[in-house]
Amino acid sequence: MCGIVGIVAKSNVNQTIFDALTVLQHRGQDAAGMVTCEGNRFFLRKDNGLVNEVFRTRHMKRLAGNVGIGHVRYPTAGSSSSAEAQPFYVNSPYGIALAHNGNLTNADDVAEQMFRADLRHINTTSDSEVLLNVLAHELQLQGKLKPQAEDMFAAVQRVHERCKGGYAAVALITGYGMLAFRDPHGIRPLIYGKRETKSGTEYMVASESVALDISGFERVRDIAPGEAIYIDMAGNVSTQQCAENTTLAPCLFEYVYLARPDSIIDEVNVHISRMRMGKKLADKIRRERPDHDIDVIIPIPDTSRTSAMEMAKELGVTFREGFIKNRYIGRTFIMPGQVQRKKSVRRKLNPIGMEFKDKVVMLVDDSIVRGTTSSQIVQMARDVGAKKVYFASAAPPVKFPNVYGIDMPAAEELIAHGRTDKEIGEEIGCDWMIYQELDDLKQSVSEGNPSITEFDTCVFDGQYVAGDIDEDYLKRLKAARNDSAKGKNKKASSNESSNLCSKID
């Protein structure tokens, strides 16, 4: 999971892109990057680190131009190499920079085709570089010295034909404009908006609507599955459907965990969908234990707070904040390596003893992936005197790896894989484990937009909506994502130089 943004404006865009990336920081804390365009020249800055660490005043001064794109990244398969920070750039044709959120499931095959048939070299292991080179090659085949919108759309159509998986991308074409597109299933989110200025209308595309909100852009609509939008340097907007047999099947995990609650994705208010998740959990508790003895409901900050509050309201149980979160520790879910995750949990959360002592506590989290964090939090609650510790997950059991841009571990490292709910509860040390039902989760989201009839639910049921996933692919994924492999990747990447600030002429 990553965050992307692109802007076509009437004045310098570097500060607006910076602001957008800061509110998309939750989507990736490993690296950040920005490319701007002035005339026929690109200006690039990217490196490992948080947004406010990567972009200093000296870098911002060099990022000139009224058009630009930005990216925040988290490491896939444990890689934290700065060589894979985005955006990526190629100089033929025209000069194209691209930032990407998602994952191409046939990246290896396409990279081989690019080398043998298209005579293009892929320099990293990033599928984003593959996507960029496919787009560049297909644009070059259009054979236009001055490409028009129809040439952009023809190239995107070929991208959809060649690339499989889940992806949302934004590209900058030197001197011509900005192109953005979304995969034919709409798995990864992409939205665009506009704002009126004295100099004219400006446009932004981004992963989440919150990026538009903070800079005063009015949300226009989500980019449809398989659709592309092209905005030229003058601010003229063109859109076209570039794929056949499209289906809107957004990633369900976006609403559970990935997205900010103040975002709207595919017309669904994320905050309200999480409220519904809490109500559904309360209904399940009433069905299973109408005479429950819960004294207090405590969220595990921050993503579960909305669901926990609604659960408490529905059950008529006291809601309390029981954990204080260290805001300077990143999201443990997206940290490479089990050792680092274990160390981070205790540094990240500290319990308020009086909220637990001698009480039957229901802890609520958005989901459980490995169980590492959950087991430590349950023990924290016991250590400060909880009489009983129950645990509720706003999402169903996570049993399968994600292949569309979320770096979940191999199936065997997922605590729910091959275990019953009761066994999971025993594994994390709680007295009662309760999970959201998958149908209830789907309904919690689709009530916000009834036109969504299908979701990417692969982490819950192993059904991969974009297809082309077999046992061999999952075996290769397992080899890349297990914690031992991540440790090796981290050690190797630590030896690389990360001074990637440059100006491209």
Q: Which residues are annotated as a binding site for Mg(2+)?
A: 303, 365-366
Structure tokens at 140: 């070059």
Please say whether the beta carbons of 376 and 346 come within 8 A.
yes
Q: Which residues contribute to the annotated binding site?
A: 303, 365-366
Q: Which two tokens stand for residue 176?
A: 């011509």
Query: Has 2 been annotated as catalytic?
Result: yes
Say if residue 299 is preceded by a cis peptide, omega within 30 of 0: no
Other CB atoms within 10 A of residue 483 CB = 18
Neighbours of 460 (CB within 10 A): 24
Q: What b/e sequence results for 12-41 when a residue is b if at least 16 CB atoms lie within 10 Å of its CB, and e otherwise? A: bbbebbbbbbbbbbbbbbbbbbbbbbbeee
For residue 268, which phi and psi values (nearest 5 degrees)? -105, 125
Length reported for the chain: 505
d(CA 189, CA 35): 21
Backbone torsions φ then ψ of 137, nearest 5 degrees:
-65, -45
- Considering Cα of 4, then 239, then 264, then 12, what sign does the dihedral take? positive
The DSSP output letter for 282 is H
Tokens of 419: 């275990």
Burial of 288 (0-12, 13-18, 19+ CB in 10 A): exposed
Three-class SS state of 305: helix
Those residues with Cβ within 8 angstroms of residue 411's Cβ, 6 or more apart along the chain or in another chain: 399, 400, 401, 417, 474, 478
Instruction: Report the C-alpha gap between 462 and 218 in whole angstroms.
Output: 37
- Beta-carbon count within 10 A of 113 CB: 16
Centre a 10 Å sphere on the Cβ of residue 467 and count the other Cβ atoms it contains.
11
Helix (H, G, I), strand (E, B) or coil at 36: strand
Residue 167 sits at φ, ψ, to 5 deg, of: -160, 145
Annotated active-site residue in 2, 37, 242, 430: 2
d(CA 212, CA 220): 10
Catalytically active residues are: 2
